Amino acid sequence: MRVSKFCLAVVSSALLLSFNACQSSSSSSTTSIQNNLKHRNLPNRDNSYTNLYSAQRMIERGEFSQALPKLLVIVESGNESVPEVHYLLGIVYQELGSPQNALSHYIKYLQVAPTGIYSENSRKKIRELLGNIDTQIEKVSTVEERIASLEERLKTSPTDKNTLTELANWHWLNQNYTRAGELYKQSVTLYPELWNDDTIASRIEKDSEGNIIVLSPDEALRREAERKPIVFFNVTSFRSGRQFGWASDLRHQIYNVSGQVRNRSSRTIKNVSVQVTIYGFSGMVYDTKTINLGHLSPSQTKPFSIQFTNFDNIENVDHYDYVAYYDE
């Protein structure tokens, strides 16, 4: 009986040791697998790529101003292994209204990655800005040097169509709208078919008397001012008027909206009125009021102020909007 118990104890001990050994082996194997991360598709942890991916997502959402500093950080870091940053900067600058900076970065991308994934898109964007050009854009060092070269060529061939249009496009991107306008006018006068060129047609047009008008940014602003002559500024809201009584009973009774309007056009705007609407939560309209301001001469400014009391509780007034009306 004692032998049997002894044998059972020995067997039990052997089984326990064997089990522990298996556990140890399994645990070691698991730890080894957990520490081996080569099988995982981990993102690149380089800050340049992090900023690039973040900026790309912002661009896709139309957040160009927010994307710009992230892209500039990559350029300032001197990391030449991320040429895509120049293509994305080109897009951002073009959307933000800086075509000359956009062009510089499209060219830079083609210089660094002439067969890169964005090379064809870069060339397409350049054609949008410059039209069809008769040179390898990658060889252009600076905008100023290219303009100087084309100006010299124009002296030799003053009626060459390609030189005229390309030089005009470069001047336009360099914000020399006066010189660009002169060249565009000369181009369409010599070659009327150029009116069908999308780039040129977006930058000049004929008025009712046949005069050629250069559609510079200043001209665009002037037209916008004539189309929408009344502008608002310094518009704000505040609460006023309190009940008299104990301090615990004090509360505002009047919701005020005030501001100023200005006539930015070159003509007198007649019978100007301002309409203000206040809203509660969920867009519920509490009240709408209109104030008449009379006539506004060019560049004239007038103030307005409207008071509201038609609401259940002033704390429930959520927001307001305003609009101007006038006789055309």
Count of positions (residues) in the chain: 328
Note whether 129 and 108 are same-domain residues: yes
Structure tokens given for 163: 């030189």
Residues 110, 138: Cα–Cα separation, whole Å: 6
Residue 79 has pLDDT above 80, yes or no: no
Domain, as residue range, for 172: 143-225
Same domain, 239 and 308: yes
Within this chain, do residues 57 and 101 fall inside the same structural domain, yes or no? yes
Q: What per-residue confidence (pLDDT) applies to 135? A: 61
Quick check: 82 and 113 in contact, CB under 8 A?
no
**Partners of 242 in beta bridges:** 252
CA distance 252 to 315: 9
pLDDT > 70: what percent of the chain? 81
- For a pLDDT cut of 90, what percent of the chain falls above it? 53
Query: Does the pLDDT at position 261 exceed 50?
Result: yes
Encode pLDDT of 230-253 as tens digits.
Answer: 999 999 999 987 655 545 555 678
Residue 17 lies in a domain: no
From CA 313, how far away is CA 254, in angstroms rounded?
10
Please give the tally of structural domains in the chain: 3
Residue where a domain terminates, one of 192, 225, 258? 225
Instruction: Please check whether residues 107 and 149 belong to one and the same domain.
Output: no
Nearest to 186, CA basis, from 173, 202, 209, 167: 167
- Please indicate, yes or no, whether residues 219 and 282 belong to a single structural domain of this protein: no
Q: Which of 68, 71, 78, 66 is nearest to 49 (CA)?
A: 71
CB-neighbour burial class of residue 85 (10 A; exposed 0-12, middle 13-18, buried 19+): buried
Statement to judge: residues 134 and 148 lie in one domain: no
pLDDT (tens digit per residue) in 197-234 = 888 998 999 999 999 999 998 898 898 899 999 999 99
Task: Measure the CA angle with vertex 223, ends 181 and 303; round to 5°.
Answer: 140
Mean pLDDT value of segment 87-96: 92
Q: Under a CB-based contact definition with an 8 Å cutoff, are residues 305 and 258 in contact?
A: yes
Residues 6+ apart with CB under 8 A from 245: none
Does 2 map to a domain?
Answer: no
Q: Considering 139, 166, 191, which residue would you say is the last residue of a domain?
A: 139
User: Does 115 fall in a domain?
Assistant: yes
Domain containing 97 — which CATH number? 1.25.40.10
One domain for residues 127 and 203 = no
Q: Are residues 287 and 310 in the same domain?
A: yes
Domain end, chosen from 108, 139, 170, is at 139
* 114 within a domain of the structure (yes/no): yes
Angstrom distance (rounded) from CA 81 to CA 76: 13
Note the pLDDT tens digit of each residue in 21-45: 444 443 333 333 333 323 223 334 4
Say if 33 falls within a structural domain. no
Is the same domain home to 237 and 278? yes
Q: Angle between the 161-173 and 177-190 helix axes, to the nearest 10 degrees?
A: 160
**323 and 232 part of one domain:** yes
Is residue 3 a part of any domain in this protein?
no
Residue 31 inside a domain? The answer is: no
* DSSP H helices in the chain: 2-35, 47-60, 64-77, 84-95, 99-112, 119-130, 143-156, 161-173, 177-190, 198-201, 217-227
- Whether residue 173 is contained in a domain is answered as yes
**CATH classification at residue 297:** 2.60.40.10
Residue 285, CA distances (Å) to 94, 219, 238 in order: 40, 39, 18
- Quick one: 267 and 204 in the same domain? no
Shared domain check, 237 and 274: yes
